[in-house]
Homo-oligomer: A and B are copies of this chain.
Amino acid sequence: MNDNNTINSAEILCVGTELLLGDIVNTNAAFLSTRLADLGINVYRHTAVGDNPERLRRALKLAIDENDLVITSGGLGPTYDDLTKETVSDFFGRKMYLHDQSLARIEEYFSRTGRVMTENNKKQAMMPEGAIVFTNNYGTAPALALYDEEKNKTVIMLPGPPNELVPIFNEEVEPYLHSRRESMLISHNVNIFGMGESSVETALKGLMQNAHNPTVAPYCKEGEVRLRVTARASTKEDADRMCEEMIANISATEVGKYIYGVDADTLENAAIKHLKRKGLTLSSAESCTGGLIAKRLTDVAGSSEVFLGGCVTYTNDVKMKLVGVSAETLERYGAVSGETACEMARGVRLALGSDIGVSTTGIAGPGGGTEETPVGTVFVGISTEKGEYVKRLSLSSMKSRSYIRNISANHAFALVLECENNNGKK
């Protein structure tokens, strides 16, 4: 399995005191992990250390000792505490030199974005001897790879900001790594909504424990369960076929009816695809979710084909003005009621002329709960020309505002997924 120059194992080492202070969340580690898994490279550890030369050196030594590949993020900036490149260079015993193309590119970047180049930015153009320099079209710090052939160790250094790291990886690092992989590890996600993790695992226990290739691993994400099916094979086609067979086995169990997609990524993605397939348009009227449904739908590029728009009706007055909820309904049943949810969904559908209207009204907390309608009470409505339906959610009042809003949006997307163009009810 271990050819001399093949990369099998990797560690992701993120550098930056802001990570250890909790000022930023480490999305780079997750992104890089996904992409390395696709390349068939096993990631065995994530490490984050601060902008401290000694701790960085120790973390780097440990990572290099145990793995073929180390990818670092951060510490390539212009400031005095950006030390990754210098530390790695020192570790491999390489000298630094001024890389003319990088300097020219940094100067050009500053002139193009109309900003002033300060002296400390020149530090970013210093490179260790023998480095492969990756162009950074998105910022000033060039990325680089150092490969020690004798020890078969590779360190790839990327800038910390995700909006630089992600495109550089896609455009330059992935092609570089592609040529050095050995076997193909392919994963597919089975998306499940409406069944808890323990129940899924109990239903699939035998199947999961006996599965070695492909493997099946469950994990939770706010209100959803996903099963990651991963196969290792010498070609993508073989691995895909092995995954397909396993997914068919899973679908044949009681879990099957809760599966809303494979590699659907998110419920909103699945909803958009469903609407496109059915040729239906959608609009939204949101109270407690406050724009989250529209935001999540429009996160999906191309959503404008099926999502016409929506209203955020945060007050009673706006519920009446924008989506025509009647004063009587608000008076008799209250803003947080199935009746109001129903009129909101109908109202926005008629106002915008869409095939489907969805709505939410509820108490996301932390304040605003009462005995009859505690925090976590949410009504999710859907309206089409043929019929209307409202679902009452009683989420735990202990859950966070963000959780309650997200789960409410999930239920709205799930209702859209059940909606057929020839079927009035839902």
- A residues lining the B interface (CB < 8 Å): 14, 16-27, 29-37, 43-50, 55, 59, 62, 77-81, 113, 115-116, 118, 120-121, 137-138, 140, 161, 163, 166-167, 187, 189, 196-199, 201-202, 209, 217-222, 226, 228, 283-284, 286, 289-295, 297-299, 301-304, 307-315, 317-318, 321-322, 351-353, 365-367, 396, 398-403, 405
Contact = CB atoms under 8 A, between A and B. Distances in A.
> Which of A46, A121, A137 has the most chain B CB within a 10 Å cutoff?
A46
Given A309-B318, A351-B322, A33 B19 contact: yes
A309 B314 contact: yes
Contacts of A198: 78, 115, 118, 120-121, 140
A220 B161 contact: yes
A226 B23 contact: yes
A339 to B, nearest CB: 19
B25 A30 contact: yes
Given A22-B35, A26-B30, A284-B312, 19 more contacts: A20-B44, A23-B219, A25-B30, A29-B48, A44-B49, A46-B48, A47-B48, A79-B197, A120-B198, A138-B399, A163-B399, A167-B398, A298-B314, A304-B315, A308-B315, A309-B314, A309-B315, A321-B351, A322-B351
22 contacts: A17-B217, A18-B217, A21-B43, A22-B32, A22-B33, A22-B34, A22-B36, A23-B221, A25-B26, A26-B46, A113-B396, A116-B199, A118-B201, A120-B202, A286-B294, A289-B295, A294-B312, A304-B314, A308-B318, A309-B312, A321-B351, A322-B351
B33 A21 contact: yes
* Copies held by the complex: 2
Contacts of A81: 217
Contacts of A291: 286, 291-295, 297-298, 310, 312
A262 to B, nearest CB: 15
A220 B16 CA distance: 11
A45 B44 contact: no
Contacts of A353: 317, 321
A89 B201 CA distance: 25
B294 A290 contact: yes
Contacts of A400: 163, 166
A424 B130 CA distance: 60
A113 to B, nearest CB: 8
A166 to B, nearest CB: 7
A388 B355 CA distance: 35
Contacts of A166: 400
Given A22-B30, A26-B25, A201 B367 contact: no
